[in-house]
Structure 1
Amino acid sequence: MKYNFIPITHRKPLRWPNGKRLAIILTTNLEYWDPVRDTAKPFYPGGPSIVGGDLPGNVYDNANYTWREYGQRVGVWRMFDVFDAEGVQTSCTMNAKMALERRPAVDAALERGWEIVAHNYVQSELLTDYMFDEAAEREIIRKTLDIYEEVCGRKAKGWLSSSLRSTLNTIDILAEEGLIFVTDLLNDDQPYLVETRSGRPMVSISYTSEVNDFSFLRQGLSAESGLQMFREQFDWLYAESATSGRFMNIGLHPHVIGQAYRIRALRDFIRYAKQFDDVWFATREEIAEWYLQNHSSHI
């Protein structure tokens, strides 16, 4: 995996299709955590906890497990109601075990024709556990992709690693498995090509840890201040996109933004962004396929 360092000021203008100037990706993370893991080491379930203190993996953490499960039982349905009411699509990332253990949410996304992005086997297992064992990492990726194909009825096109913890081999493996985009790299507001050892091109479409509902927890944001964060990001990127297109991703987790006292921030942001005719509510696959055909006019 290799990518060139080309600052945004050294690129040609990016022109999205159909005269659009800012692409918005609303990412809903469909994630599953095992209640326990066979280890005495602290259990890393992914993302901040609502009740602090690390327990060993083989000790059940009721408070944090059931808080996250709220997103699967209640929060995600509140989010889907908002997306339906506002007439916009969301790009769903999916752990393989989410499909195995919490199938209704996955089926609801598929019924709506929304994008599903492979998101590792289970949220509580990181690819960095296999930093020095490429064969084991490939096995996890293949197991994830097999379940994805079985559940979604098609092969996966893109990938997000659990907690963004990928290795130096991950993108090369993904390219060799036939994927065309990755969202692990947090370093841009535009797509770019990543070189791989197989020679198969991979499009980077950055996720974000900044414009993310975890900021509601880390920074103590309310619905109003969270909405302000979303709008600030949008307004600045929209202004910049007058000369060269940008994308804006929002990372969303049903157990966080799906809480009743936060959901208004998502709804009101969507209503705000919909006022702009040249905004594109895009999927990552749409962006990746377009960029594969048009990257030479950009970088």
Structure 2
Amino acid sequence: MRGRPRLEMPGGARMAFWIAPNIEHYEWMPPVNPNRHPNPRVMPDVMNYSMRDYGNRIGFRRIAEEMARRDIRGSVSLSVTVVDHFPEIIARCNDLGWELFSHGIYNTRYFYGMTLEEQRRVVIDSRETLARVGQSLDGWLTPAITPSLETQEILAQEGVRYTLDYFHDDQPMPLSLKTGRLISVPYSIEMNDTPMAAWHLMSGEEILASLKAQFDRMYAEGAQNPRVMCFAIHPFVLGQPHRIDLFAEFLDYVKAHADVWYPTGREIAEWYYETQYDRVSAWLGTLEGEA
């Protein structure tokens, strides 16, 4: 952060808080990628398939209701085949004013081993699919976060405005590209219900305490230079009956603070390109000159 230009957020906010619901679809019999097996057990993995199906059938409604009660919109990291498999979910997201961006076709189709043209085809397919439901493709998160080094070049060439594949900063940041423009918007593997609950086996109380600690620190630091906090959620995890109340409690905690901006990912990108991108890029250029 040393020497970095101070960001100026809308309304003088000291931080942006946004929620990224990962609404995904896992195939019943996905193709096996030699770099990563799509299911932890022998296919068909009935247990894991049905557990994830719970999120789309039941969990989504719970998280959508809690967010709507508090006037917080979602920015959906979408397996774009949900458009065809669960059109009622897409209709509800549109009714709520949520953004849809691409998390690939299926969450079982990794970018590991894909050719550049295969990657490009996924991006184009995502753009065309979202257009059918009245959404533009502005944001991107590679399935299971499996991008190649060239993926960001393809995204910029195809008109994507921001990516969530990088976890290196608490502010949006321009990426160094051969051609075009693309920014990284802060996403999170730390403030993410799947790692918290499934990888680290945290209790509801521990999850809530971690979320509050993350928010408190970023809110305090945001007084000097505004920060962006993302809470990444999955309906099959946070939409469970025993976890939904901790989600509601955390949203109430956030909403009790002044000077917080509640944008979508698309709105973060629009603000940044319009008012911050050139300033920060110029500053980065001075650092490159010094190097």
TM-score, length-normalised on structure 2?
A: 0.91
Matched, 1:148 2:143: no
Matched, 1:60 2:44: yes
The 1:260/1:134 distance shift into structure 2, 3 A limit, reads same
Residue 208 of structure 1, aligned match among 188, 197, 200 = 188
Residue 147 of structure 2, aligned match among 135, 141, 166 = 166
Residue 129 of structure 1, aligned match among 101, 104, 113 = 113
Q: CA deviation at 1:168?
A: 1.1
The separation in 1 between residues aligned to 2:33 and 2:110, in whole angstroms, is 17
Q: CA deviation at 1:109?
A: 0.4
Residue-by-residue CA offset, 1:241-260 (whole Å, 9 max, x unaligned): 01000000111000001101
Aligned to 1:232: 213
Residue 95 of structure 1, aligned match among 75, 79, 104 = 79
Aligned to 2:289: none
Aligned to 1:12: 5
Aligned to 1:21: 14
Residue 183 of structure 1, aligned match among 161, 164, 168 = 164
Letter in structure 2 aligned against 1:138: R
Aligned to 1:43: 37
Letter in structure 1 aligned against 2:118: A
Q: CA deviation at 1:54?
A: 2.9
Contact in 2 for aligned 1:37/1:43 (Cα 8 Å): no
Q: CA deviation at 1:38?
A: 4.2
Q: Which stretch shows the higher mean deviation, 135-144 or 250-259?
A: 135-144
Contact in 2 for aligned 1:222/1:262 (Cα 8 Å): no
Aligned to 2:176: 195
SS at match of 2:101: strand
SS at match of 1:127: coil
Contact in 1 for aligned 2:186/2:229 (Cα 8 Å): no
Aligned to 1:79: 63
Aligned to 2:102: 118
Matched, 1:223 2:199: no
The 1:216/1:206 distance shift into structure 2, 3 A limit, reads same
Matched, 1:107 2:100: no
The separation in 1 between residues aligned to 2:279 and 2:126, in whole angstroms, is 34
Letter in structure 1 aligned against 2:125: K
Matched, 1:283 2:257: no
Contact in 2 for aligned 1:118/1:158 (Cα 8 Å): yes
Unpaired segments ≥5 residues, structure 1: 1-7, 46-52
Letter in structure 2 aligned against 1:100: D
The 1:277/1:34 distance shift into structure 2, 3 A limit, reads same
Matched, 1:251 2:238: no
Unpaired segments ≥5 residues, structure 2: 284-291
Residue 265 of structure 1, aligned match among 232, 246, 261 = 246
Letter in structure 1 aligned against 2:126: T
Letter in structure 1 aligned against 2:102: A
The separation in 1 between residues aligned to 2:68 and 2:31, in whole angstroms, is 40
The separation in 1 between residues aligned to 2:73 and 2:125, in whole angstroms, is 27
How many residues are treated as equivalent by the alignment?
278
Contact in 1 for aligned 2:100/2:135 (Cα 8 Å): no
SS at match of 1:27: strand
Aligned to 1:3: none
The separation in 2 between residues aligned to 1:229 and 1:211, in whole angstroms, is 8
Contact in 1 for aligned 2:173/2:184 (Cα 8 Å): yes
Q: Which stretch shows the higher mean deviation, 94-103 or 19-28?
A: 94-103
Aligned to 2:286: none
Contact in 1 for aligned 2:60/2:239 (Cα 8 Å): yes
Q: CA deviation at 1:147?
A: 0.9
RMSD: 1.6
Contact in 1 for aligned 2:99/2:135 (Cα 8 Å): no
TM-score, length-normalised on structure 1?
A: 0.89
The separation in 2 between residues aligned to 1:201 and 1:218, in whole angstroms, is 35
Contact in 2 for aligned 1:29/1:252 (Cα 8 Å): yes
